[in-house]
Amino acid sequence: MAVHIRLKRGGQIRQPHYRIVVSDSRVARDGKFIEVIGFYNPIAKVEEVELNKDRFTYWLSVGAQPTDTIKSLLTKKGMWAGLCASAQAMAKSGTPAVQAAPKVKAAVAPVEIPVPAEPEIEVEEPLTEEEQEEQEEQKDQES
Report the pLDDT value the prediction gives residue 105, as an integer from 0 to 100.
Answer: 53
0.85 cut: is pTM over it? Answer: no
Report the pLDDT value the prediction gives residue 85, as an integer from 0 to 100.
Answer: 80
Beta strand pairing call for 65-66 and 3-12? parallel
Report the pLDDT value the prediction gives residue 27, as an integer from 0 to 100.
Answer: 82
Q: Which domains occur in the chain, in start order?
A: 3-93 (3.30.1320.10)
Report the pLDDT value the prediction gives residue 123, as an integer from 0 to 100.
Answer: 66
Mean pLDDT by 10 residues, the chain (143 residues): 86 90 84 86 86 87 87 85 80 61 55 69 74 84 75
